Structure 1
Amino acid sequence: MDREQARFILKSIRADGSDASDADFAEALAVAASDRELGEWLGRERARDAAFAAALGRVDLPPELREEVLACFDVHAAIEFDEADHALASGLGSIRPPAGLRQEILIAMEKSEPAEVVRPSRWKYLAIPLAAAAGIVLAMVLSKPGETSSTVPIAGVVPANSGTAVPISHVENSAISTLESPGFTLDLSNPDHEVLFNFIRNSGRACPGGCVPKGLEDIPGIGCRTLDVDGKEGAIVCFRRGEGDAVHLVVFREADVKASLPTCGHPKLGKHGDWTVARWQQDGRVFLLLGHLPEEQLDQLF
Structure 2
Amino acid sequence: MDNREAKFILGAYRPNGQDAGDPRFSEALEQARRDPILERWFLDSLAFDAAITEKLRATEVPPGLRESILAGVKVSRPLRSPFVKWAIAAALISMAIVGSLIWHEPRKPSGLAGWQNRALDIVSALVRNESSFDAQSHNADELLAWLRVNDAPAAQTLPQELEKLESLGCKTFSWNGIPVSVICFTRPDGGLIHLVATNAVAPIKRTTKGQPELVQQGQWATATWREGDKIYMLAMEGSRDQLRAYLL
Contact 1:247 1:290 in 2 (8 A): yes
Number of residue equivalences: 148
- 2:242 matched to 1:300? no
Between the aligned residues of both structures, percent identity stands at 21
Partner of 1:173: 117
Q: Structure 2: where are the runs of 5+ without partners?
A: 1-29, 37-91, 97-110
Q: Greater RCO between the two (CA within 8 Å, min separation 6)?
A: 1
**In the TM superposition, what whole-angstrom CA distance separates every residue of 1:242-287 from its partner, at most 9, and x where no partner exists?**
2531101110010144323244x62000112210011111110011
**In the TM superposition, what whole-angstrom CA distance separates every residue of 1:35-93 from its partner, at most 9, and x where no partner exists?**
xxxxxxxxxxxxxxxxx9861339xxxxxxxxxxxxxxxxxxxxxxxxxxxxxxxxxxx
Counting only pairs closer than 5 Å after superposition, residues 281-300 of structure 1 correspond to structure 2 as 281-300=226-245
Contact 2:182 2:195 in 1 (8 A): yes
**TM-score under structure 2 normalisation?**
0.53
Q: Secondary structure at the match of 1:207?
A: coil
- 2:101 matched to 1:118? no
Contact 1:168 1:259 in 2 (8 A): no
The one-letter amino acid of 1:225's match is K
Contact 2:200 2:206 in 1 (8 A): no
Which whole-Å CA distance do the structure 2 matches of 1:287 and 1:53 have between them? Answer: 29
Q: Secondary structure at the match of 1:174?
A: helix
RMSD in angstroms over aligned alpha carbons?
A: 2.9
Partner of 1:56: 34
Counting only pairs closer than 5 Å after superposition, residues 76-225 of structure 1 correspond to structure 2 as 118-119=94-95, 169-181=113-125, 182=128, 183-210=130-157, 212-225=158-171
Partner of 1:266: 211
Q: Secondary structure at the match of 2:94?
A: coil
Contact 1:54 1:228 in 2 (8 A): no
The one-letter amino acid of 2:33's match is A
Change (3 A) 1:53 1:295: farther
**In the TM superposition, what whole-angstrom CA distance separates every residue of 1:172-199 from its partner, at most 9, and x where no partner exists?**
1111111222412111111111100011
Which whole-Å CA distance do the structure 1 matches of 2:200 and 2:112 have between them? Answer: 10
